[in-house]
Amino acid sequence: MLEKLLNLGREIIPDFLFRLGQPIYHYKLALLAALIYRFPSGKIKVVMITGTKGKSTTAELVNSILEAADLRTALTSTIRTKIGETAYPNLLKMTTPGRFFLQKFLRRAVSEKCEWAVIEMTSQAVAQYRHKFIDLDALIFTGIHPEHIESHGSFDKYLEAKLELARTRPHIIVSNLDDIHGQKFLDFAHEKKIGFRLENWTGTTYKTNLIGDFNKRNILAATGFAQAIGIPEESIASGIANLKQVPGRMEFVPNNLGIEVVVDYAHTTGSLQAVYEALRPASPELQRGEQAQGKSSQPKAGPPRAEKLICVLGACGGGRDKWKRSEFGKIAEQYCDYIILTNEDPYDENPWRIVEEIESGISDKSKYEVEINRRKAINKALQLALQSRGRTSGAEIRPLVLITGKGTDPYIMGPGGTKQSWSDAQVVREELAKLTQTSF
């Protein structure tokens, strides 16, 4: 209802007046929500997690560690909402729900006697004052990369929206110091400031199924918070080990066809490259270029790398971060043996045009094809992987299909607000079942 009223306001109020009234509108709604639910955050400890990527995984790690320490938790993130033992998937197509949802969520958490609430907080939610009137005990900053530039107006404004959370001066701030902006967050810490770098992973003995350097950072963020609030080290280790997989985040879909299939939410240039690097080294050409600069693309210690990587790739529409589409193409060409370009969330844009902009970043036209229908694109990738199975030089080739962009997103968003129910992982399971019947 509120969204319909807001859209009506956009139509009848002059644009400059509408923009001028936005902060007042959002602030009053935040205050009203807090009043209705009687300021519940004062009766529960709250940790918020912000950053361009890694928020959902870090939130799940924090939740798992708290539970391992026998603390009752509530959680709301891109993936799901849980209060105590009750959990359900996030079908709202937004990471951070609205002000009334958040205040009601906190009130329910208090009623269920939860001790900690874990909230994934986006910059757009901050811009709309969804964080207002929530007492913040701790803040975790996972890092920042160019994203949502059109909606914020500039990268500086995007960063400022993140920093606004730190300006509330929570008791504890945990920040990624591998990010050049990480120290800025620590400057606002009220009591404890914890910085971490990837190099801090050396010497740790945590056992985890989560792969990639980005997940090491997520674990360091979660453990920094846990240590700051006095969680015993054995509970921290148990919490990390207990989290076997995060839905839609490097999610391996099991099958008996001799291939690997991974679904991941990667939707920024940084996260896309990080996921590719976690699964295989870059092309020989890229390796030579990086070695000339004193870098290395050789595989690091960890899980076996894909001998053949088949990538299903799209990009979001609706005018969102158009600049990154050609960059997606460039990055995919460096790491993928073959790419299938497809639809993701076109909104009111022509999906073919979106794909063309990704294509513009790929120089080798033999390395990709276009299949706009996302289900057919996934099926095609799985078939190619099956055809690539075999042995070479005595070693087994297990091709890997990587499907990026949506993760656990529950819909494909089309023109005029239309939406199609969707799950990359479920579609993979369905298409694998079809191929299993024809393969045996």
How would you class 11 by CB atoms within 10 Å of its CB: exposed for 0-12, middle for 13-18, buried for 19 or more? exposed
Return d(Cα 128, Cα 143) in angstroms, integer.
21
Low-confidence ranges of the chain (pLDDT < 70): 1-22, 146-153, 281-306, 391-397, 439-440
CB 380 within 8 A of CB 371: yes
Return d(Cα 74, Cα 59) in angstroms, integer.
11
Coil, strand, or helix at residue 78? coil
- Cα Rg of the chain, angstroms: 22
Taking only the tens place, the pLDDT of each residue in 67-95 is 999 999 999 999 999 999 999 999 888 88
Coil, strand, or helix at residue 289? helix
**How is residue 158 annotated by DSSP?**
H
Supply 126's token pair: 């901050």
- Give the pLDDT of residue 159: 87
Return d(Cα 297, Cα 279) in angstroms, integer.
12
Please list, in sequence order, all residues whose beta carbon lies within 8 angstroms of the beta carbon of residue 406, skipping any fewer than 6 positions away: 248, 263, 265, 344, 345, 412, 422, 424
- Give the pLDDT of residue 95: 82
* Sheet with strand 116-120: strands edge to edge: 86-89, 80-83, 73-76, 116-120, 45-50, 138-141, 172-176, 192-196
Give φ, ψ of 290 to 5 degrees: -70, -35
- Give the pLDDT of residue 287: 44
Q: Which ranges of 113-252 does DSSP label H, i.e. alpha helix? A: 123-127, 149-152, 155-166, 182-186, 213-228, 233-242
Return d(Cα 174, Cα 10) in angstroms, integer.
39
- Give the pLDDT of residue 15: 62
Look-up: residue for tokens 């019947």?
Answer: 437
- Give the pLDDT of residue 389: 85
Supply 336's token pair: 């993928």
Taking only the tens place, the pLDDT of each residue in 185-205 is 999 988 999 999 999 999 899
How large is the angle between the packed helices 374-388 and 424-439, nearest 10 degrees? 50
β-pairing verdict for 138-141 and 45-50: parallel
CA angle 398, 402, 403 (to 5 degrees): 150
Coil, strand, or helix at residue 166? helix
* Nearest Cα residue to 115 out of 95, 138, 89: 138
- Give the pLDDT of residue 289: 43
- Give the pLDDT of residue 57: 97
Return d(Cα 121, Cα 27) in angstroms, integer.
17
Domains in the chain, CATH or no CATH each: 39-242 (3.40.1190.10), 251-439 (3.90.190.20)
